[in-house]
Amino acid sequence: MFITLIDRYIARLFAGFFVAGLVVFVTLFVTVDFMSNINRFDAPAEMVGRFYAYAIPGIVYQMIPVACLLGTIFTLSALNKNNELVALFSSGMSLARVSAPILAIVVLISGVSFWLGDRVLPVITQKKNYVYYVEVRKQPGLYSTVKTNKIWYRSNNILFNIKTLQAEASRAQGLTMYYFDGDWQLIQMITAAQVALNGEAWDLEKGAVTIFPKETNIPMTQEFEKKTITMGEDSSDLQSTTRASEMLSLRELDRFIERNKEAGLDTLRYEVDYHAKFSFAFAAFVMSFIGIPFSVNRQRSGSAAVNIGLCVGLAFGYWSAYSSGLTLGQHGALSPILAAWVPNIVVLALSVLFLLRLKK
């Protein structure tokens, strides 16, 4: 199929609405986030700028599907309002042919979205979290770096390493803690095979305590079956600030899941997140597709307010279904792959049904 002048016209129209929508959504998000979150920490402008430089790619990633929906609705509604759509139908072009340049661009955008989520965001998210927790909030204990096989964390003068973390179950495995004095000289080390995270109180199982006395320089070790230690207040947020799937690429997340399965750990949430990385990239296409029948079924109703209301309604409906699917998957009601893909499949099926009911 050759690209015609009409295709280029529709593509330019869609691209303009898409970019405008993306700019508006990102600007609104940044403004609200700054006023409600960052502004209360009284951070310097340079620091705030670096934080949002790392945060904006993630915001763009989240807003791409909605911007595609807005671009589709406004493009087709503009053609409909100006009777250009009627002229195109009269010339023999079908709705599918008119929508082809829009969907072609959306497919390209979906590919960029997938690349952004897999290659860029894991690295950017770590840098954003570092600026936020260490520099803006000045609470380095809340910052954690998640890698494929371990979690390094700091709480005051304690550094500790966790091999695997089950945030939902408040459990951790393979703990090694390093205690330092005011001069950052190692004074004690604690290891444990299993840990129950109860806020600031951690219950350790099957481990050992090693003390490094300055007088003799001879380490002394004593094993234990169970031991309870009290951590700092900031360490209680470990479960909420650590999300491995957000900081891992697909390949790394796949290896992460495999290793945890071999260790006999529950990986259901991470498996849902793994499949969601694929399905979310497809969300832009799904939301654009659902916008087509609603855009052309309204006779010359091209009001911006109506279009924005339609966009908000469709976006809310889709995200409600998508979030519900992921929640069902995380609780075991659906398999991970079904939890991630059923909402897209259902919305696409509804879109086809609405298109078939159109009289045009």
Q: Evaluate whether residue 251 is within a structural domain.
A: no
CA angle 312, 315, 321 (to 5 degrees): 140
pLDDT of 198 reads 83
Q: Are residue 327 and residue 208 in the same domain, yes or no?
A: no
Same domain membership, residue 133 and residue 162: no
pLDDT digits (tens, 9 = 90+) for 218-267: 888 999 999 998 876 555 555 544 455 777 889 888 887 887 777 666 78
Residues 94, 175 within the same domain: no
Q: Give the CA-trace dihedral at 190, 210, 147, 238, to 10 degrees.
A: 20
Q: Examine the fold and report which residue of 205, 231, 257 is the final residue of a domain before the chain moves on.
A: 231
- Tell me: do 207 and 108 sit in the same domain: no
| Residue 184 sits in the same domain as residue 103 | no
φ, ψ of residue 37 to 5 degrees: the values are -130, -70
Q: Which of 140, 318, 353, 309 is nearest to 238 (CA)?
A: 140
| Residue 76 sits in the same domain as residue 194 | no
* Enclosing domain of residue 181: 157-231
Tell me, yes or no, whether 247 lies in a domain.
no
Tell the residue number behind the tokens 């393979």, with chain if given: 174
Which phi and psi angles does 49 have, rounded to 5°?
Answer: -60, -40
Asked whether residue 50 is assigned to any structural domain, the reply reads yes
* pLDDT digits 0-9 by tens, 44-66: 999 999 999 999 999 999 999 99
Which helix or strand (DSSP H or E) is residue 33 part of?
helix 5-36
Cα(99)–Cα(68) distance, integer angstroms: 13
Q: Are 196 and 219 in contact (CB under 8 A)?
A: no
Residues 179 and 285 in one domain: no
Of the three residues 231, 252, 281, the one that is the final residue of a domain is: 231
pLDDT of residue 146: 43
Averaged confidence pLDDT in the chain: 85
H/E run at residue 275: helix 268-296
Check whether residue 161 and residue 130 sit in a common domain: no
Q: How many domains does the chain have?
A: 2
Q: Read off the pTM.
A: 0.75
Same-domain pairing of 18 and 166: no
Q: Which residues contact 360 (CB under 8 A, 6 or more apart)?
A: 89, 95, 296
Tell me whether residue 254 is in a domain.
no
Asked whether the beta carbons of 18 and 71 are under 8 A apart, the reply is yes
Q: Are residues 79 and 193 in the same domain?
A: no
Q: Is residue 260 part of a domain?
A: no
Long-range contacts of 228-231 (CB under 8 A, 24+ apart): 228/201, 228/202, 228/203, 228/204, 229/190, 229/201, 229/202, 229/204, 230/200, 230/201, 230/202, 231/155, 231/158, 231/200, 231/201, 231/202
d(C-alpha 274, C-alpha 265), whole Å: 16
Q: Is residue 224 part of a domain?
A: yes
Q: Single out the residue in 173, 206, 231 at which a domain terminates.
A: 231
CA–CA separation, 17 vs 169, rounded Å? 44
pLDDT at 227: 92
Residues 84 and 165 in one domain: no
Instruction: Describe the strand order of the beta sheet including 151-155 as a list of residue ranges.
Output: 144-146, 151-155, 158-166, 171-180, 186-198, 201-211, 220-230
Do 128 and 165 share a domain, yes or no?
A: no
- The closest of 204, 273, 225, 281 to 245, measured between CA atoms, is 273
Mean pLDDT in consecutive groups of 10 residues from the start of the chain, 360 residues: 83 96 95 90 90 95 94 90 86 90 96 94 88 82 52 74 72 88 87 87 92 82 91 58 70 82 76 94 93 72 67 86 91 93 92 78
In a domain, 152, yes or no: no
Contact (CB, 8 A) for 193 and 214 = no
> What distance in Å separates the CA atoms of residue 26 and residue 57, rounded to the nearest whole number?
10
For the CA atoms of the chain, what is the radius of gyration? 26
Domain assignment present for residue 52? The answer is yes
Question: 213-236: b or e for each residue (b if 16 or more CB lie within 10 Å)?
Answer: eeeeeeeeeeeeeebebebeebbb
